[in-house]
Structures are given as C-alpha cells and as structure tokens.
Amino acid sequence: MKKIIILYFLGALLLSGCMRDEFDTTRVEEGIAARVSLRVLLPDMDGAVSAGNTRTSANTRAVDADVENRLDSLRVLVFNSSGKIVTNRKYTAQSDGSLSSLQIDTWSGNNLTFCFVANSRDDLDNRLAVVTSYNDLREFMVTASSLNFGLSDTGALIMTAIVENVNVQPGTDTISDPIQLQFLAAKLTLTVTDATPDGHTVTILGWDVQDVPARSYLFPDSQDANPAPEGGADKEEYWLTTASDYPFEVEQNKSASQTLYLFENRRGGRVARSLPGTDERYPDMALNDTDHRGKAWFKPRRATAVVINAIHRAGTQSELIKAYIYLGHDNHSDYNVLRGSHYTFNITVYGINDIKIDTNVDSKAGDFFVDYSENLRMDAHPDFRVMRMHAAGGTGTMEILDSQGRTYDDPSFDATWLKISPLNLMYHQVKQPASPANDWQQASNPESKFVRPKYIPHKSVRAKLTQEGISGWNAIPAGKEDDDVMSLDDATYRMCYKITDLPFGNTSTVTNQTLYVYADEYVVRDGFRSATVRFSFYKDGGDPNQPEIRNFTISQDGYLSFYTDDDNQYAGLYILNQDGTPSDVKQRMVLERYPEYRMTMNPGIDPSVQNINSMQWGFAEFKVYVANSHDKFRNGRFVTTESVYQDLKRVDNEPDNFGVAPNSYRRMFGNGLDGSLAAIPAYTGRTSGAPYYLPDPTARIYHPIYKTSAARYCHEKNRDLNGNGILEPSEIHWYMPSQNELLLMAISLPQSEYQFAGYSALMSSTELEERHMSHVTVGMKDSYPFAYSNRQLKSSQTFAIRCCRVLR
C-alpha cells in the first residue's frame, strides 16, 4: 500500500498546550542535583468523527498504525527561570527501555520550564542538541526537507509538550500529572465516492495540494510560521503547491481514499468578495451562508486545498473535473488547519454540477482529554476496559449510550450489557487485616495476600440473581437501591450506567479520574454489538447547559466456534469420571478471540509490566494433579480450576467448594516479568490506600493478566457476578483447554484461526508429569491440517494461550 508524506510532514507533529505543575510554593535552593520522575502520554489521531458523530477509524493512513503511535526517542530540555538551558538530554527506547515513565537528572530551582520533543530526526535533533535558551527554542522552525508523496515512510512522528513554572526540589521529585504529548502536524483523511446515476462514471485521476505551509514552529506560537499573505514578507518558498496528480492510496468499488499529514495553517474564516455573475451563483449565495459551494469563492489568500482531478463520462461525452477541497474545521466557512487535529472530508459526486462535500474534524484541542486501554473492542468473555479522564477546573460525567444514542432512562435502551464503575475488579487488592478496611474484600486470607474486591452488582443483575436464589453482596445503603445513575462518591463499590460529579480540582492543575467499563459475557456465535461511552466536562464558570463532550464507540464480539452446529449431539468431548471410566457428560468448548496478555490494558502504568508475548505454565517445582490424573487430557474446565486452587472438591465431576480457605490459592508465577520464573512470594510492599488498597504494579506481584500462571489467566476471565469476592462454581465457565480439547480445536479450525496471533503452538492445561506440560502444534501436510501434542520443560518454556468457554 502506498504511503503519503507531505514535506517533513512526518518531520512534524503537535504539542500540548502549556501545563502548569507546581511542586512547592516555597522557595527552593537552586543548583543542587535533582531527579524528577514523570509519565508520558501519547496522543491519538487514529479516530475521526463522521457525519453522524460516531467515532470511527480512518480507512487509510499515511504511515502504518505502529509508526503513528510509536515513541522512539524523547529529548528533554530544562530551562531555569532566566530561560537558560540547564539540562538537555535525549532518551531512546533502545537504551533506556520504555519511555512512558522517565527519571530526568537535572538541577533544583524555581520556575523551571520542561520541554519535550519526541522522535526528532538527525538534522532536527542536531539543532536541538545545541539550543542554549528558551527564547531560541520558542523561535525554533521546522521546514519541509522534501516532497515524498507516494513513498513509504518508517520514521515515527514528531510530538512535543511544554510544562512551565515547575519548582524542583533537591533530591527526588515528581511531576504527578502526565506529560501529554501532541503531534506537530495535522492529519487529513480524504474520501471520494462516485454516486452518479447509471450510465455515468467518474474516473479519479489523482490529487494535488495547493498552498500547504512548508514550515512551522516546533512549538505552538500565537501566529503561524508563515506571515500573513497580505504582508510584503510572503514568499512562494513558504508554501507547497503541486500539479502531479498523485494516485489515491486506496481505490475500491466506486470510492477512493487518501491520508496525509500537513503543517498547520490558520487562515480564519470567509473574506468579503463581490458575488460572481448570476449564472455562477447558487441560490441565496452570501458571505455568511453555510453552503459548502461558497467555500472556494470566499476563501482567504493562501487557504490550503486538496485538488482532485477526475473525468466524468455520460455516454460518449467526457468532461474534466477539477475539484478544490478547502480544508478547515467545517466544509463551508472555516479555513483553519490546526496541529494535532484529524480532518475528514467526504466528497460525493452525484453529477458534473452536483458535488457534495461533508467534513468533520476530531480536534484534540479542548478542556479535557480521555485516554484508554489499547483498544475498545471487547471479547466474548466478561471483559473490561480502563478509561481515564484528564481535566482541570470543573466536573465530569461518564455514561453509557446504546447503539442508537439512547440513555439509560429511555425505555428502549438496550446497552444493559455494559456498566461503569470506579472499582477495578481485575486488579486484586492487598489483603487488609481487620474491619472496616477489609469489609469490601474477599473474606479469606490467602497465602498470596491478594484478594478479590467485593462490590454491589447493578440492580438488574441483583434481580436476576435473586430469582435464581443467589445473594452474597454487601448491604445496600439506605436510599441507594437505584444505581442507574450515581455520583462518584456513591458509586465507589457499585455498577452504574452513568457516574456524575467527577471532580477536577482548580484551573491550575490537571488531574485524572479512572473508571472501568465492564461488559457482560456475550455467548453468541460470531456476534457483534456496540455502544457509546460519553464523557461530558462542565467547566467552572462555563455554560452548564453546554458541556464539552467526547464520544467513544465500544464494541464486543461473540465467541468463535469450530462446530458446524453448536447444538449438534456429536459436538464436544465426553469427560471422564474420577476413576477414569467414561461419563455421560459431554462438554462443548468455544473460543475467545483476542489475547489480552498482549494488550496494554491499564493506561498510566508502565507498558513494560503489562503486555507480554506468551504465558508461563508455572508450577515448575512440583506436580499439580494427583487425584485427577485420569481426566486431565479432556476436562480442561476441572484441571484449570485445580491449577488455581488446592482445596477444591469434585462433585458430580464438577469443581466445587474452593476459594474460601486461607491457603486455598496455589502459588502464582510471573511469566518472567518479575525477573524470575519461580513462584511470586507474598506481597509486603506499599498500597495506594483506601478505598481500594491496590499494590504497586511495578513490584514483584501477582496480577491476573500479566503476572500469573496460564491456567489462572484463563480462570480470571470469569466474573464474580454476585460481588462477594469469590468465584463460585456457578460462575466458572471460561478455562484453559486440555490437550485433547486443543487437538479437537486444531483439526477443526482453519489454520489462520488456530495460529493465534502468529503462533502455531498453543499451551494446554494438561500436566504430563512433574516439570512438564503439554502443548499442541498445528501445521499443514499435503494440503491438510495436522496436529500433534508434545511436552516441554515448564520452568523454561512459554507459549501462546487461547481460553475457552464450556457450552451447556
């Protein structure tokens, strides 16, 4: 696929507005060695806003996704209160590991300014390395080194940020609020669709650009790098205009699309001009109309445009079309192209004189920012995503809207499968010794010292559980039975459709609020459903009826099945009785779709302690299965549970009575992320404090996704539905498949599905003997799939995993 770059377009991307972070109001002693810890957030231009205000992914890219969202290097420049440089250092991912969290060695002082430039290339970086003053940096100019249309580019995009008025104490200090990087360039996605009637065709020849800025300030300035075109300082070399008919990146059916990057160009709004002749006017044409046909006529000088050349044919007649698409924040009156914004223009050709232009822009400028887990597409098992809202000086609201935009109080609202909570059910808590600190924790005191949190299920879930004779949640505070919408304080241990009153302090400090979106399991074959998470920000002193709003589409896929018919009597495997004799119980397994352990699920936590490529079986020092040796090859649900607990009983060939004794849990293993493949010891480190008592994520701890045995990773895909802090037998559906279940899956699935994220071998829950586990490898032989099982040393081998659900 051809890639597009304008100028150093990839030599440039945006910055954040200045953030203020004050450590101390008292005067600090200057010039003493200091180390400042900080966190870095990447921007996101991957989403656009369509005409229906639904967040979508752009169809095309000027660079690949992993390039656009990559942080290769970060240069940090620190200036003292006089504007002189005191620290200038470049950090690279190769030499310094992850760049999401950094420790900057500098000097103490008052009113320091921290400047950040990410992914600077050789020429730019060499110039930055010799900067001596803050004034020089603010005048720093980036220019287009060349036109590189139609070529692939692998260089990561430039991003910048500034934090001013920082007081740094001697020794160790912290910038608590994350550094929000933003791109230097703007992004444009252009789509042209032929909607002419039968007998007409539109042949798109290509595109060009007109009056694209050839230079930009590295950091935002009160004015463009290019002087006002009306002034005498305007020069042609400040602008890029082409006439080469560059081909569109993607052409399919009757549409073509292109994505490119360009420097900002603030040209304002329409300018007054006398109207054209009567024959050239459209109805009611006027300076202040909102018709897209007037954008070209009333444009200011040097407004940026993309020119599309095409041929329109009707029968044997042909006419050349040259369409000028003037960019900006709307399709009729605005000509501003701002750094860090993603503009989408959809051009529909209905006829030679009937071309409609719809444009929308997803601009990151605003009073609040939302970051979230690696993606918002959930799997079939009970799933969750983390979302953080950053703002200052106001209050926020987070709520669920269904796919039709309806809220919880609409009788037709159908997004009941989603809930919001400030409680993280997937991050186990550090056990507290006594009441009231342990009132909202699992009652047992496991050797691991990590326990599940308790919570009150949503009223819709409580009603279903009550009908089934199930209870177990803590007492509901008087008058708080209705939990559709709750304030943040009231929602501490609750599940809601809407949470209000998210506090964001005063106007000088950006803070964040972290909330969790939970999806019920989706036991529908190849199903798909979606909803919207809406964030609203009510700025202090602003119009209470006009909040700033961000919408995020969240979706969920149903399970993957390899049976022709899930209800077929021959589907699945018979499990064995405890004595090894055949039973009359047949279990049918279906599959999840996405490997969570390869995702960064928690924003704000160093990705290096999160996403991993494969899982560790664990239990390298001893044998797990003793009483269950007969059924370990085909009953993955039981052997998975036995790998997690050491006190379970077998009742009617099902796991029962586990998770309540002090020593119920087996030891946990950390996938090597803690520096060892051995068992993780009981945690004795710090916690984040009430009400959630979360451990330090970078410590040597157990985590149900990233630092755990493979079997417990699958076991933790189940949810504690009644909120009592225990996964009970009735709540256990998802598990790690056994050897024979994997073999059945391997010979039944297409090879492309079996090779989970590129791996041709999957790990089973079957233990062959002490220090050895079973895995299954699949391949092709004589054009037919084949599968075989093997065994590997547990303490040194890791493999991919695919978790399963039993269908009853």
Across the range 656-673, mean pLDDT stands at: 78
Model confidence at 208: pLDDT above 90: no
* 119 burial via Cβ count (<10 Å: 0-12, 13-18, 19+): buried
Report which of residues 17 and 517 the model is more confident about: 517
DSSP 264-302: -B---B--------GGGPPTT--TT---GGGTTTTPPTT
CATH class entry, domain 186-360: mainly beta
Report which of residues 600 and 790 the model is more confident about: 600
pLDDT category of residue 498 using cuts at 50, 70 and 90:
very high
204 alpha-carbon distance from chain centroid: 35
pLDDT category of residue 4 using cuts at 50, 70 and 90:
very low
pLDDT category of residue 402 using cuts at 50, 70 and 90:
very high
- The torsion defined by the Cα of 603, 605, 611 and 617, in degrees rounded to 10, comes to -130
Report which of residues 12 and 266 the model is more confident about: 266
Residue 751 three-state SS: helix
**Separation CA 797–CA 618 (nearest Å):** 9
pLDDT category of residue 54 using cuts at 50, 70 and 90:
very low
DSSP 687-713: B--TTT-PBPTTSS--BTTTBS-HHHH
- List pLDDT tens digits, range 725-784: 999 999 999 999 988 888 888 777 665 455 444 455 778 888 776 656 665 665 544 444
Give pLDDT, residue 7.
32
**Separation CA 593–CA 803 (nearest Å):** 9
582 with 633: CB under 8 angstroms? no
129 with 117: CB under 8 angstroms? no
Report which of residues 10 and 90 the model is more confident about: 90
Model confidence at 181: pLDDT above 50: yes
Output the average pLDDT for the chain: 80
Across the range 248-266, mean pLDDT stands at: 81
Give pLDDT, residue 548.
86
- List pLDDT tens digits, range 279-332: 888 899 999 999 888 998 999 999 999 888 777 777 655 566 778 889 988 889
Across the range 782-790, mean pLDDT stands at: 51
- The half-sphere exposure of 551 on its side-chain side, counting CA atoms within 13 A, is 17
Across the range 548-559, mean pLDDT stands at: 92
Model confidence at 513: pLDDT above 50: yes
494 with 419: CB under 8 angstroms? no
List the structure tokens of 670.
């950390």
Q: pTM above 0.85?
A: no
Model confidence at 97: pLDDT above 80: no
Task: Tell me how far CA of residue 218 lies from CA of 68, 79, 128, 183, in angstroms.
Answer: 18, 17, 11, 10
Model confidence at 43: pLDDT above 90: no
- List pLDDT tens digits, range 417-462: 999 999 999 889 999 988 999 999 998 888 778 899 999 999 999 9
Across the range 206-230, mean pLDDT stands at: 81
Instruction: Specify the range with the lowest mean pLDDT, choosing from 138-152, 570-584, 691-705.
Output: 138-152
Helix or strand (DSSP H, E) at 456: none
Q: Which residue has the tokens 């790098």?
A: 225
Report which of residues 188 and 230 the model is more confident about: 188
Q: Check if 32-48+60-183 and 186-360 are the same fold.
A: yes
pLDDT category of residue 93 using cuts at 50, 70 and 90:
confident
Give pLDDT, residue 329.
86
Strand partners, 576: 582
pLDDT category of residue 539 using cuts at 50, 70 and 90:
confident
Across the range 623-630, mean pLDDT stands at: 68
The candidate with the shortest Cα–Cα distance to 772, out of 670, 622, 615, is 622
Across the range 677-702, mean pLDDT stands at: 84
Across the range 666-694, mean pLDDT stands at: 77
Q: Which residue has the tokens 């009073």?
A: 367
- Fold for domain 32-48+60-183? Immunoglobulin-like (2.60.40)
Strand pairing report for 255-262 and 186-194? antiparallel
pLDDT category of residue 596 using cuts at 50, 70 and 90:
confident
Instruction: Specify the range with the lowest mean pLDDT, choosing from 22-36, 75-89, 494-508, 706-720.
Output: 22-36
Give pLDDT, residue 724.
94
Percent of the chain with pLDDT over 90: 31
Report domain extents, the chain.
32-48+60-183, 186-360, 372-557, 573-807
Please state the φ and ψ torsions of residue 550, each to the nearest 5 degrees: -125, 135
DSSP 310-324: EEEEETTEEEEEEEE
pLDDT category of residue 416 using cuts at 50, 70 and 90:
very high
452 with 726: CB under 8 angstroms? yes
- List all residues 6 or more positions away from 450 whose beta carbon is below 8 Å from its beta carbon: 428, 429, 430, 431, 683, 695, 701, 702
